[in-house]
């Protein structure tokens, strides 16, 4: 432990495990016959379990900067890494039979998912423009490949193309903004950038130009209006298993990216980026909720729903201070849990040669399977923000934080929009309970999917009833990490 | 102005014209060649900045490897330019407006007022025995070892993705595995069928004669 590089490496143990296992899975897959493809799946699940255990086991309440201040190991990173490992594991459980029937049940799929997870873990722990950017690129590249992995599907290829071109543009904007901030402050490490900003020396005009580009790049990546164009197309075109992945786990990383860049690095410029976030939040909530009403494809509907949820998330950042960040972290955890369940139901209804992606495919779900209809009901209520589900509590805390920060008008507007948004969530419930089923195929999930999906759905209700522990976890992570 | 200034302005002018021609040239091969020119002049500017190693790497990697490959691909593909340009004029006004606004914003900031010599100070030239390459190597393997390793992972993902997306095992392949051939047993190839013995039927013509 005297050697500094060993100390550095110790802080990154979960990342090292994920990286090593991704390469092992790639190699092992070469020697597997078609019948033994499940080995890759089992290895991935073990990796995710190991990464979750390692994250918990190596947790310390302190903040440690390693690799020359490029990588930070703090409670916020640990909590997010734990959640990301678990969420990725759930994604794999839901997607297994879907990818198996579509020729994607191969080592590359699992390796790319693990590489994407590695990218997200780096983003979560990045404390330097370079590491943040490298993590983002690792995540994005893996995602582009995953979207296109179903090669004979022209829609998936089109979605991958759009995602790639727009993602590259966003990366370019982000880098341009970072280079401007570097030009003004002379620092790449977030702590140094902050110190330089506090000193008041840097040229303000240059900083603002850089900030505009950084925020635009971030908004592109998280899918906030007016940079949301790619979200519905990519959600719609990707294989549902990949949509599930894109829609869920990376949101944790995006939250951390906002925290690191805007809060830990550029907080002294808060007055300047707050205005931009207000515009994006208002537009995201309104355009997301109103456009979602017109959708007949449930994947597109959930994409617009994501955009509106991003708007709510931004409210948490508006309320500058630990209270707001805690509520944003709580919101993102709730959002990921709900998204996992909703896409899990879609994957459950899909089978060989059939994609459940239209609202009509949910018609009469109650007659086909009352239990899963109930789970979907819980998820839709939660997304709409109906008490006593988790979604209600998440919206409540975010809006409360914004209210305390004095944004009364904005909060009233957000509540109105949430009411409009409730329409399309409740329409799904109406289709499930009051319409005749079109498709009569029995629903027979495997035992693991049935179990995880049931737990997922019930958690939305249970955490909604008892949100204290999750709230305390988020508050602990933020309080220990953000000074 | 000293000699370096003249060299810089000459190179910068060529770079700008080449960059403009990359996006305006009608023939994609010409566009790729203009890109090569742009890389060359950019390498020249880097040499002026005393970044010798990076300048040489730019020429070796981009001009030598990437652009040659790129030219191959462009020449192999049958690109229908008219189809690519379809709808160009529909979007031109909006795109032009956004482009001009962005260019003006950037021009107002990236200029002498904010990045001039009197703001940033004149950089000191390196001593004679300074090794650009050694310094880069030292930085990459000490201070920047984490991003350096991450870059290698990104490249690995690019390789995995490229292979996963393009490699197909042909269904009609007549490939034979020698190991399978060696291991083959008689039972794999010959199937013994037990059939009842058949009586030879007299042929029609002969029957008539008899």
**Cβ contacts of A313 within 8 Å, gap of 6 or more:** A222, A255, A328, A331, A332, A335, A398
| Residue A447 to chain B, least CA–CA distance (Å) | 31
**Cβ contacts of B56 within 8 Å, gap of 6 or more:** B43
- The C-alpha R_g of chain A, in whole angstroms, comes to 21
State residue B33 phi and psi, 5-degree precision. Answer: -70, -35
How high is the pLDDT of residue B182? 86
| Residue B101 to chain A, least CA–CA distance (Å) | 13
Q: What three-state secondary structure class fits A386?
A: coil
Q: Indicate if the pLDDT at residue B87 is higher than 80.
A: no
| Residue A132 to chain B, least CA–CA distance (Å) | 9
- Of the candidates B105, B145, B168, the beta carbon closest to that of A209 is on B105
The span from the CA of A242 to the CA of A318, in Å, is 31
Q: Indicate if the pLDDT at residue B208 is higher than 60.
A: no
- Of the candidates A70, A137, A148, the beta carbon closest to that of B154 is on A137
Confidence (pTM): 0.90
Q: In this structure, how many other beta carbons lie within 10 angstroms of the beta carbon of residue B152? A: 10
How high is the pLDDT of residue A44? 96
Beta bridge partners of A71: A66, A126
CB A375 within 8 A of CB A341: yes
Beta-carbon separation of A145 and B165 below 8 A: yes
DSSP code of residue A15: H
Element spanning B165, H or E: helix B145-166
Residue B174, Cα to own-chain centre: how many angstroms? 32
Chain A from 225 to 264: CB within 8 A of any B CB: none
Residue of A nearest to B163 (CA): A108
pLDDT in tens, chain A (483 residues): 457 778 888 889 999 999 999 999 999 998 988 888 899 999 999 999 999 999 999 888 889 899 888 999 999 999 999 999 999 999 999 999 999 888 888 889 999 999 999 999 999 999 999 999 999 999 999 999 999 998 888 999 999 999 999 999 999 999 999 999 998 998 999 999 999 999 988 888 899 999 999 999 999 999 998 899 999 999 999 999 999 999 999 999 999 999 999 999 998 998 899 999 999 999 999 999 999 999 999 999 999 999 999 999 999 898 888 899 999 999 999 999 999 999 999 999 988 888 888 988 888 888 888 999 999 999 999 999 998 899 999 999 999 999 998 899 999 999 999 999 999 999 999 999 998 888 788 888 889 999 999 999 999 999 999 999 999 999 999 998 886
Residue of A nearest to B103 (CA): A209
Beta bridge partners of A351: A354
Using a CB–CB cutoff of 8 Å, tell me whether A180 touches chain B.
yes
Helix axes A107-125, A250-258, angle to 10 degrees: 20
Task: Give the side-chain half-sphere CA count within 13 A for B58.
Answer: 18
How high is the pLDDT of residue A2? 58
Element spanning A71, H or E: strand A71-73
Residue of B nearest to A186 (CA): B120
The span from the CA of A161 to the CA of A163, in Å, is 5
CB A453 within 8 A of CB A345: yes
Using a CB–CB cutoff of 8 Å, tell me whether B2 touches chain A.
no
Beta-carbon separation of B154 and A134 below 8 A: yes
Number of domains comprising chain A: 1
DSSP code of residue A106: S
Per-residue b or e along A314-325, where b marks 16 or more CB atoms closer than 10 Å to that residue's CB: bbbbbbbeebbb
How many angstroms separate the Cα of A210 from the Cα of each of A17, A35, B16? 36, 53, 23
- Of the candidates B154, B164, B165, the beta carbon closest to that of A138 is on B154
What residues make up the domain containing A224?
4-481
The span from the CA of A18 to the CA of A207, in Å, is 37
């Amino acid at each position: 432990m005297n050697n500094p590089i060993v100390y550095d490496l110790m802080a990154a143990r979960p990342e090292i495990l994920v990286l090593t296992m991704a390469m092992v899975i790639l190699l092992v897959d070469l020697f597997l016959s078609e019948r033994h493809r499940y080995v890759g799946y089992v290895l991935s699940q073990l990796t995710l379990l190991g990464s979750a255990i390692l994250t918990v086991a190596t947790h310390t309440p302190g903040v440690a900067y390693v690799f020359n201040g490029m990588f930070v190991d703090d409670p916020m990173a640990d909590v997010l890494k734990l959640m990301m490992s678990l969420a990725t594991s759930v994604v794999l459980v839901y997607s297994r039979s879907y990818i198996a029937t579509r020729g994607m049940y191969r080592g590359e799929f699992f390796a790319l998912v693990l590489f994407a997870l590695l990218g997200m873990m780096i983003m979560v722990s990045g404390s330097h423009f370079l590491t943040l950017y490298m993590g983002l690129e690792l995540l994005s590249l893996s995602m582009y490949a995953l979207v296109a992995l179903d090669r004979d599907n022209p829609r998936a290829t089109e979605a991958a193309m759009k995602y790639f071109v727009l993602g590259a543009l966003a990366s370019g904007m982000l880098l341009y903004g970072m280079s401007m901030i570097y030009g003004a402050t002379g620092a790449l490490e977030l702590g140094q950038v902050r110190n330089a900003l506090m000193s008041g020396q840097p040229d303000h005009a240059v900083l603002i130009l850089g900030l505009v580009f950084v925020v635009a790049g971030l908004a592109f990546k998280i899918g906030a209006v007016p940079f949301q164009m790619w979200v519905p197309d990519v959600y719609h075109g990707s294989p549902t298993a990949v949509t599930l992945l894109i829609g869920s786990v990376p949101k944790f990383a995006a939250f951390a990216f906002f925290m690191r860049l805007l809060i830990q690095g550029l907080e002294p410029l808060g007055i300047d980026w707050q205005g931009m976030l207000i515009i994006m939040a208002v537009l995201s909530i309104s355009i997301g909720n109103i456009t979602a009403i017109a959708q007949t494809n449930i994947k597109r509907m959930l994409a617009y729903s994501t955009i509106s949820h991003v708007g709510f998330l931004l409210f948490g950042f508006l309320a500058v201070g630990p209270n707001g960040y805690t509520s944003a972290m709580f919101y993102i955890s709730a959002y990921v849990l709900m998204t996992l369940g909703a896409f899990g139901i879609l994957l459950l209804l899909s089978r060989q040669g059939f994609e459940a992606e239209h609202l009509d495919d949910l018609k009469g779900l109650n007659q086909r399977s009352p239990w899963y209809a109930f789970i979907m009901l819980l998820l839709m209520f939660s997304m709409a923000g109906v008490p006593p589900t988790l979604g209600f509590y998440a919206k409540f805390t975010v809006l409360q934080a914004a209210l305390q920060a004095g944004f009364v008008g904005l909060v009233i507007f957000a509540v109105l929009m949430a009411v409009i948004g409730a329409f399309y969530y409740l329409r799904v419930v109406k289709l499930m309970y009051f319409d005749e089923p079109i498709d009569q195929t029995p629903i027979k999930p495997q035992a693991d999917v049935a179990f995880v999906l049931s737990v997922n759905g019930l958690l939305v209700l249970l955490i909604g009833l008892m949100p204290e522990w999750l709230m305390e976890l988020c508050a602990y992570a933020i309080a220990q990490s953000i000074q | 102005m000293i000699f370096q200034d003249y060299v810089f302005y000459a190179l910068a002018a060529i770079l700008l014209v080449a960059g403009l021609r990359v996006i305006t040239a009608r023939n994609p091969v010409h566009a790729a060649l203009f890109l090569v020119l742009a890389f060359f002049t950019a390498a020249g500017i880097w040499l002026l900045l005393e970044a010798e190693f990076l300048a040489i790497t730019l020429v070796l990697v981009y001009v030598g490897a990437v652009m040659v490959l790129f030219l191959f691909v462009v020449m192999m593909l049958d690109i229908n330019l008219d189809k690519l340009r379809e709808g160009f004029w529909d979007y031109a006004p909006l795109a032009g407006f956004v482009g001009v606004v962005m260019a003006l914003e950037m021009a107002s900031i990236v200029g002498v007022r904010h990045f001039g010599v009197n703001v940033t100070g004149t950089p000191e030239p390196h001593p004679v025995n300074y090794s650009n390459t050694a310094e880069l190597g030292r930085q990459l393997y000490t201070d920047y070892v984490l991003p350096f390793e991450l870059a290698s992972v990104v490249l690995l993902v690019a390789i995995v993705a490229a292979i996963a997306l393009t490699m197909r095992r042909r269904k009609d392949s007549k490939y034979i595995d020698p190991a399978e051939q060696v291991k083959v047993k008689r039972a794999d190839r010959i199937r013994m069928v037990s059939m009842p013995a058949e009586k030879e039927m007299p042929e029609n013509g002969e029957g008539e004669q008899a």
